[in-house]
Amino acid sequence: MPGPLAGIRVLDLTTVLVGPYCTQVLAEMGAEVTKVEAPEGDVVRLIGPGRSPGMGCMFLTVNRGKRSIVLDLKRPEARQVLLRLARNADVLVTNIRPQAMARLGLDYPALRAENPRLVYASVLGYGQDGPYAPRPAYDDLMQGATTVAALNARVGDGRPGYVPLAMVDRITGLAAVGAINAALLARERGGEGQLVEVPMFETMLTFVLGDHLGGKVFDPPLDAGGYGRLLSPDRRPYRTRDGHVCTMIYNDRQWRSFCAAVGWQDLVATDPRFASHATRTEHIDEILAMLSEIFRERTTAEWLKLLAEADLPVTPVHDLESIFEDVHLQATGFFDTEEHPSEGRLTRMAVPLRFSGTPTGERAPAPRLGEQSEAILAEAGYGEAEIAALLQGGAVRQAD
């Protein structure tokens, strides 16, 4: 595949979402990603509706552009296959816990002995120098541990709640993409790879506390923490006469434009709460409550027109039906279809990244379990008799 990472070979020993999302983005940048799966396959193959076993909708959307080889890494022969593949790889990504990788003889020292230029990226639950190091981690746990669930309680009905998407997995996956690319750059300068550790807990906590550490930045603290605007009860899509609309009136120019558009011309000049960004932040609950009232006076269509004409940020509140009718996404071709060799016609999303000098190309459909096992072995130099022996012994499996 073309793209800025064309020629970079990635071994993907990841499952579920945090690791596969990372390697999906690497594939979107042009890397050649080989997904190494256990005989039972990535559990995400079983999530959501599908047309055939092991090809669920979530797997199809987060594993495009990859190839699949099945290795039973509990077998010594399969371990030798992986070590052989690693000799010509640039990156290995795993979210298997380090203790398990060590038991398999596939920890960083073992892989470095095979390939000193390898970037070995370990996506972890927790940093490995603390007491939580060996614990398993999932998105829900991380939302609770990093105060997301408690913050939702503050803006809701008092009960802790999760954000309805695997937010921590995807944020950590993107952090891993950045760390891997930085390590590849360092390798180009210094000649050797390195171990890269990306912990979900600490990565997500820096993400959350960047907004909500607040006065706890100071010693002693100046307040109890929390960003008032984000925690205001009226920070939500505004109810209109016939629906909802999203807008954010933020800086001084935007407030002047909004007040002029709705007949509040004297408000900025006479009401000290509107005098500056600082005073608006101090009185954010009152101000958002005022906005909530005025937005009920017009229809959604009227607000979309009025705010756009005033050059103010505005967007409709899409759901899982209307998003496909968004005029911008239609114009940019964000959604299109592909013909999957085994799953038929699928809706797919475009690669959102654009590179003027190294544009990305077409991605292959998500692979069936072990679809390219034989081809990958042949590329690694295994002969026909060796491949047959590995398949017959069960160390490697090929898709039916």
Residue 177 in contact with residue 26, Cβ under 8 Å?
yes
Residue 44 contacts residue 62 (beta carbons within 8 Å):
yes
For 228-234, the CB contacts below 8 A with 24+ separation are 228/281, 228/282, 228/284, 228/285, 229/281, 229/284, 231/151, 231/154, 231/155, 232/155, 232/284, 232/285, 232/288, 233/155, 233/285, 233/288, 234/285, 234/288, 234/289, 234/291, 234/292
Distances (CA, A) of 166 to 58, 116, 123, 134, 237: 12, 34, 15, 22, 22
Structure tokens at 331: 């114009």
CA distances from 379 to 65, 87, 239 (A): 18, 13, 59
Q: Which residues are catalytic?
A: 169
Cβ neighbours of residue 91 closer than 8 Å, sequence gap 6 or more = 8, 9, 10, 11, 26, 31, 118, 119, 120, 121, 180, 184
Rounded to whole angstroms, the Cα distance separating 163 from 148 reads 8
